[in-house]
Amino acid sequence: MNEAKKAAGEQAAELVRTGMRVGLGTGSTTAYALRAIGRRIRESSLHVMGVPTSFASERLARECGIPLTTLDEVDELDLALDGADEVSPDLDLIKGRGGAHTREKVVAAQARRFVVLTDPSKDVERLGAKRVVPVEVLPMATGPVLRTLTGLGADASLRMGREKDGPVVTDQGFWIIDARFEGGIDDPPRVDRTLRDTPGVLDHGLFLDMATDVFVGHPDGSVEHRQRDE
């Protein structure tokens, strides 16, 4: 799928215009967009400011020569570019396999246009059909949040590190619980509301009614552009 990711990322990068303030997402597909933006900065008169969604995207943006700013310094973003783990027919998303979903959601919410870059493997009929929903939690709230997720019908577990012992720690110093919904989520808005109302939850990976566009790259290099119905 590398060619598909590259096609989606590079086409989305063409949306960036001089003077824009752009949210810079995290992940392998968005990395192609950041590299394409960096090339345009080096090779043309493109002038933009980026707001990264993670330490990883900040490092890559600096490597690509993209000037950076913060949400303290800008009132609004013209555009946010990011990937997704799942995309429903209504353009609702699951994000957070890389653990950056909280910052990604903050940045996406500040953008007038939120463009998601994917490949066909991310398409689902129901959210949760393929991927878990990550829930970022205060460590001391792990037990209560696990019980809340069980009550919602999820098989939930703390995400553990692969290269070191112990839980995965996010950029915010929180832990991640992965919630698997067998067969998909029956009522995503209910899960969203319940988690938002649960003390100790910082945020979660359901992105509902947020994406304005989805660019789906295909292995032959073509890109399908989907837009949310108004």
Query: Catalytic site residues?
Result: 104
Structure tokens, 175: 């832990």
Neighbours of 2 (CB within 10 A): 12
Q: Which residues pair with 225 in a beta bridge?
A: 215
Let me know how long the chain is: 230
In the numeric block, which tokens belong to residue 46?
Answer: 């493109």
Rg (CA), the chain: 17
DSSP annotation of 138: -
- Give the Cβ contact number of residue 83 at 10 Å: 27
DSSP β-bridge partners for residue 52: 24
Burial bucket for residue 162 (CB in 10 Å: 0-12, 13-18, 19+): exposed
142-146: long-range contacts at Cβ-Cβ below 8 A with a sequence spacing of 24 or more?
142/175, 142/177, 142/200, 144/198, 144/199, 144/200, 145/177, 145/198, 145/200, 145/201, 146/177
